[in-house]
Amino acid sequence: MHIVFAAPECVPFVKTGGLADVIGSLPREIARHGHEVTVYLPYYRQVQNHFPEKKIAIPSITIPFEYYNRFVSVIDGGKRDRVQFYFIDCPELFDREEPYGTQAGEYPDNWERFGLFCRSVLEASKQIGVPDIFHLHDWQAAMLSVYLRTIYYFDPVLRKAGTVLTIHNAGYQGWFPPVTTERLLLPWDIFTVDRLEYYNTFNFLKGGIVYSDALTTVSRKYAEEIQTSEFGNGLEDPLRKRSADLHGILNGVDYSKWNPETDGKIAAHYSARDLSGKAECKRDLLHAFGASHVNEDAAVLGILSRFATQKGFDLTAQIVERLTFENIFLIVLGTGEQYYENLFRSLHDRFPDKISVRVTYDETLAHKVEAGSDIYLMPSRYEPCGLNQIYGLKYGTVPVVRATGGLDDTIQEWDPETRTGTGFKFYGYYADDYLKTVQHALAVFHDKDAWHTLMRNGMAQDYSWTKPGEEYIKVYEEVATRRN
């Protein structure tokens, strides 16, 4: 089969979250199974650094809007690990400092940017190669399904192409004014409550849910959760209607980049057989965060995250002061909502002997946090999959998580009787529950024999892309069979 991925980001070209890691790995896994794989991405300013000279695949495609046309070119990004990359180039829409918006908010013309992206992928595919399956990722690519089943419905070249939409986070949907319907030259009969309309807004993600042949999301538990009012963000009804076509497939991770035995970004290598290098990584992490004064017996708690309420930072803020009475040191790395950036800067100022915060994203420091921490904190309000807790398992950094979404699927509760389990979980979204769970983890941490068993249990887990890749291929085959 030929699979075309349409996505808004991908490592190493541009990254704002875990979606980029998925698009950097899953296409490669699908190609490893012998399928032809093509990836389309917008040609953002961040991408330009990877291609000092443009190699043009298609010099010009005309994309019509209500009162004007846009003209795009398609740049050939070449093949990487048997995956062909193409980039949709429209400088007036994509040559900007950030992919989606600034601190002031999302770009108001994102409807145009990603509507154009979706239609450009369809038009480019007609010239470069129509796939069996378009695999679309998040709201920014969801409109491709809508186009394909409306204004391209009678196009004989595209009629047999199937679509699979992966929802990485149902909290981000792409809401725009009703007039977006006619601006994108779509028929007004799709702007109804059972199609794209959502409380008098034009909803990109809802359109993808209604019009795609199959839906996937990034963990089994999250597939269940998004069909409820608590986690569906208003889309639970259309998702329940499509429940037979909704598949929960846990994300994999790239162990060629995230493995303490081979990681070039950490101070020392180590493995489940020989954990001695972990102590050196801990010392290196503390030094990197200006905390060399911390004694070796202290538990280093690590947080590596986008600063957002979704990630449970409100809970962490509530327990920090009480945690300072424990023999711990908290390291926080990330960027995001200004409120939490300022909050954690102030906590660092109040408790410099207990907390160090870096408001930035640094790939090398991220690896150091995973390798050098003893305990990884991830108390998310909701978490479709999560990757950092999986990285933590491989690095022997024991996760403390809230039992939601992929966190519940990937972490097994430690059982001291059977000496099984890989971490610690709490269920209610309450600060006291979170604190008690961290304190339970700290109690086990001081039993070194039990702790080393717990570390090794986590390091033995396999969350590579092999199984998820096979599950996605089954979905592709089911859709291709139906379309034919």
H or E element, residue 210: helix 204-211
Q: Where are the domains of the chain?
A: 2-252+465-483, 276-459
Give me the mean pLDDT over the 41-54 stretch: 93
Q: What is the CA radius of gyration of the chain?
A: 23
What does the pLDDT look like over 176-229, one tens digit per residue?
A: 999 999 999 999 999 999 999 999 999 999 999 999 999 999 999 999 999 999
Sign of the alpha-carbon torsion through 406, 146, 244, 476: negative
| 185 contacts 66 by C-beta, under 8 angstroms | yes
| 333 contacts 304 by C-beta, under 8 angstroms | yes
What integer pLDDT is reported at residue 52 of this predicted model? Answer: 82
Q: Is the pLDDT of residue 131 over 90?
A: yes
Q: Are strands 214-217 and 162-167 parallel, antiparallel or unpaired?
A: parallel
**What are the angstrom distances between the C-alpha of 221 and each of 218, 224, 254, 346?**
9, 5, 22, 36
In which band, very low, low, confident or very high, does the pLDDT at 258 lie, cut at 50, 70 and 90?
A: very high
- What gap in Å lies between CA 152 and CA 148, rounded to an integer? 5
What integer pLDDT is reported at residue 17 of this predicted model? Answer: 84
Greatest alpha-carbon span in the chain:
70
What does the pLDDT look like over 302-342, one tens digit per residue?
A: 999 989 889 999 999 999 999 999 999 999 999 888 999 99
State percent of the chain over pLDDT 90.
Answer: 95
Q: Is the pLDDT of residue 444 over 90?
A: yes
Which CATH fold would you assign to the domain 276-459?
Answer: Rossmann fold (3.40.50)
Q: Mean of the per-residue pLDDT values for the chain? A: 96
Give me the mean pLDDT over the 6-18 stretch: 93
| 222 contacts 211 by C-beta, under 8 angstroms | no
In which band, very low, low, confident or very high, does the pLDDT at 301 lie, cut at 50, 70 and 90?
A: very high
What does the pLDDT look like over 348-371, one tens digit per residue?
A: 999 999 999 999 989 999 999 999
The CB density around residue 128, as the number of other CB atoms within 10 Å, is 18
Structure tokens at 336: 């995001």
Note the pTM of the prediction, 2 decimals.
Answer: 0.94
Q: Reduce the DSSP state of residue 304 to 3 states and report it.
A: strand
What does the pLDDT look like over 395-434, one tens digit per residue?
A: 999 999 999 999 999 999 999 999 999 999 999 999 999 9
What integer pLDDT is reported at residue 375 of this predicted model? Answer: 98
Q: Is the pLDDT of residue 31 over 90?
A: yes
| 47 contacts 103 by C-beta, under 8 angstroms | no
Instruction: Annotate 201-235 with b (16+ C-beta within 10 A) or e (fewer).
Output: bbbbbbbbbbbbbbbbbbbbbbbbbbbeeebbbeb
Structure tokens at 31: 């190609």
The CATH classification number of 2-252+465-483 equals 3.40.50.2000
What integer pLDDT is reported at residue 306 of this predicted model? Answer: 87
For the sheet with 201-203, list strands across it. Answer: 175-176, 201-203, 197-198
In which band, very low, low, confident or very high, does the pLDDT at 298 lie, cut at 50, 70 and 90?
A: very high
- What gap in Å lies between CA 83 and CA 477, rounded to an integer? 19
Give yes or no on whether 2-252+465-483 and 276-459 have one common fold. Answer: yes
